Amino acid sequence: MQKIAILTSGGDAPGMNAAVRAATRGAIARGWEVYGIRNGYAGLLADTMDELHARDVGGIIQRGGTVLGSARSPEFQSDAGVEKGLSNLRSRGVDGLIVIGGNGSQTGSYRLHQEGFPVVGVASTIDNDLYGTDVTIGVDSAVNVTLEAIDRLRTTGSSHQRAFLVETMGRNCGYIALMTGIAGGAEVIVTPEREVEPHEVVERLGAAYSRGKTHAIVVVAEGAKHGARAMMDYFKEHRGTIGFGLRLTTLGHVVRGGVPTAADRVLATRLGAAAVDQLASGTTGVMMGSLCNTIAATPLAEIAGRTKPIDCALLELARVLAQ
């Protein structure tokens, strides 16, 4: 290894910059040249990359998002796109690639690995649905942002005897909804993995009102079959059976924003540094993650095209505790 490149891909996650910083400085400490690819795989195909020096990644550890940028790239999913990306890497004399991202990003990493190019992934997605890691970069920050919103809504809900329907991010995975629902004491949690029918939500809210509760929280992942707006339409027809006044709050991309937590900064730093060590060892075609609080490498072949399910037993725990 003499020259490596780094890219961030897919949805941005708080902590990505800390991983870029650690990988860049770790590689420079080994005497390698480092190039940052702008805007993910789209930038790889456009051959948009610049050399990174130690000072270029100074002052970014606390910044959210990604200084390298990110973008979706349907073209890279084709054989021709993969070949074009490889051609650009080779023409630049790049010996290895670090890909910081989630499921789609690591599937792209695997494609490059299958073509024989040295690549190491770094687990980064706010959904925390990657195999090969217990926790991913960005999820702790996303959970804490969502939880703060729920806590604020609970305060005003209690003052006005209202229930709040909170829609949070989670297109295919309900991890954020599950964790914040438990931590925020939600009466109902709805995820793509375990649907809850609107009539059941109405029953639970009505029961909470009958027990004398002054407020209620329903957390819905955006990818749930019965989404937040569909539920609100149902609730309007059954307002009298709920008891509470009901309001909808959609958090949207605010969940991704803000500075990364200490946990995300430390995790990203460890994973970014470990990715460089992995390239140096010559064992590539893996993704760096955290298993039982230990940094571990999992073959990309075991990760590509798969998603890690949530622990649905926790949904039952949340239901019991909502009494």
**Type of residue found at 157:** G
DSSP annotation string for 34-78: EEEETTHHHHHHHT-EEEE-GGGGTT-TT--S-TT-----GGGGS
Active-site option among 12, 127, 129, 264: 127
Q: How far is it, in rounded angstroms, from Cα 28 to Cα 272?
A: 13
Q: Where are the extended beta strands (E) located within 201-244?
A: 216-221
Q: How far is it, in rounded angstroms, from Cα 253 to Cα 121?
A: 24
Q: How far is it, in rounded angstroms, from Cα 264 to Cα 132?
A: 17
Q: How far is it, in rounded angstroms, from Cα 171 to Cα 55?
A: 37
Question: Which among 298, 290, 293, 278 is positioned nearest to 23, based on CA atoms?
Answer: 278
Q: Which two tokens stand for residue 304?
A: 């590509």
Question: Which among 278, 320, 260 is positioned nearest to 124, based on CA atoms?
Answer: 260
- Is 127 among the catalytic positions? yes
Question: Which among 240, 213, 7 is positioned nearest to 121, based on CA atoms?
Answer: 7
Q: How far is it, in rounded angstroms, from Cα 46 to Cα 115?
A: 19
Phi, psi of 164 (to 5 degrees): -120, 130
Indicate if the alpha-carbon torsion angle 127, 133, 135, 138 is positive or negative. negative
Question: Any idea what the Cα angle at residue 128 is, between residues 122 and 132, rounded to 5°?
Answer: 55
Active site residues: 127
